[in-house]
Amino acid sequence: MTFGTEAGFVTEISNLEEFQHALRSSRVVVLDFYSTRCGPCDVVAPLYRSVASRFTGARFYQINGLTEPGLEVQKSIDVVWWPTFVIYVNGEEVWRAKIPNPPQEYPTAELESQLAGLF
């Protein structure tokens, strides 16, 4: 599923093959690992989509770690917390952050700062 924003999109990754393809899809790939049963994830989701609309040079994805295919992706890179943001550059992980529960006042600030340094 793809969620559109004014200038960018967030695409749902549902299995390991899609994840591996996503890492090859762009120089900068941003991931949001979440769960449909995670309150902080609900808070972060619209903010994440907003970041995607501003950093159009990157590809943005979400992975639901509650479902088995998404859980497989989550386990493959040792994500153990929802929500977790991960940035890959040229297929290599360069940054990762767990969003606390409850989320801080501006939970995407560090993500935006990292992306600003890449563009």
Active site residues: 38, 41
Burial label, 102 (beta-carbon count in 10 A; 0-12, 13-18, 19+): exposed
Give the Cα separation of 52 and 25 in Å (integer): 15
For 24-53, give the DSSP string.
Answer: HH-SEEEEEEE-TT-HHHHHHHHHHHHHHH
Helices (H), the chain: 16-25, 39-54, 68-76, 109-118
